[in-house]
Amino acid sequence: MPGEALDRRIATPEGKRQYVRTLFATIADRYDFITVALSYGQDQRWKRRLVRMASLRPGLWALDLATGTGDIAFACAGQGARVVGLDITERMIELACARKAALGSRAPGALQDLVTTGYGLRNVPNLATALEEIQRVLRPGGRLLSLDFNRPANGVVRSVYLAYLGAVGGLLGWVLHGDPDTYRYIPASIRQYPGAEAVVRMMQSRGFSRTAYQPVLGGLMAIHDGVRD
């Protein structure tokens, strides 16, 4: 089946770490186009929803992880927050800085009031470790907000969803990069993702309270929300 070799490549933390670094360096210049294409133009609306949930105020320290080209970071800064965007892909930061040179120009505060991420948690090599590190850098009472694909609990819905993402991703990968597996990574990563409810439980067991998620796109996507104890 298409994607089986890819599933094996990202089955271990080290394998996933290496694959994700290479993948995002490859797709950086197409990243904004792909997020719009795969979301049918809804991506920006979802990110604005996340930023509204943050109830930002001037002077608040925010850290945007997996910032990509900076959509969430710029939106938070537009509400008066002091924002630093971080990404493992140098080209993503270059593209973000081309939009506004100030992104990432300030050193973050010792502890953050807010950590945001769009499509970040699903891509980390070890989700439990990532949540522990986010909890560590948040001040007590600080907040995590994360937008990402979900892994639907219903088996039929999940199969159709992953098949769709595999077909569309394969076509886009072939047209844009000559490699159908380029965007088949998305359904492959979802297959290995625990799903929204399980992520809530992981957050609760790692020092987050008032933890919940809001379904997006009928539950195919989710925004996770938690407060550090």
CATH number at residue 219: 3.40.50.150
3-state secondary structure of 79: coil
Backbone angles phi, psi at 52, to 5 degrees: -65, -40
What percentage of the chain has pLDDT greater than the value 90?
Answer: 86
Cα distance between residue 119 and residue 103, in whole Å: 19
The total number of structural domains in the chain stands at 1
- Give the pLDDT band of residue 1 (cuts 50, 70, 90): low
Residue 214: other Cβ atoms inside 10 A = 16
pLDDT value at 174 more than 80 = yes
Residue 91 located in a structural domain:
yes
Range of the domain at 97: 4-151+194-228
Residue 20 located in a structural domain:
yes
Residue 162 located in a structural domain:
no
**Tens digit of each residue's pLDDT (9 = 90 or more) over 110-163:** 789 999 999 999 999 999 999 999 999 999 999 999 999 999 999 999 999 999
Residue 49 located in a structural domain:
yes
3-state secondary structure of 24: helix
Residue linked to tokens 């195919």: 220
Residue 5: predicted pLDDT: 85
Residue 183 located in a structural domain:
no
Residue 11 located in a structural domain:
yes
Token pair, residue 168, equals 């569309």
CA angle 189, 10, 17 (to 5 degrees): 100
Q: Which of 35-39, 71-75, 102-106, 178-182 has the highest mean pLDDT?
A: 71-75
Higher pLDDT, 40 or 20: 20
DSSP for residue 186: H
Dihedral of CA 97/102/107/108: which sign?
negative
- Rg of the Cα atoms in the chain: 17
Residue 166 located in a structural domain:
no
End-to-end CA distance of the chain: 44
DSSP for residue 108: P
Cα distance between residue 217 and residue 43, in whole Å: 11
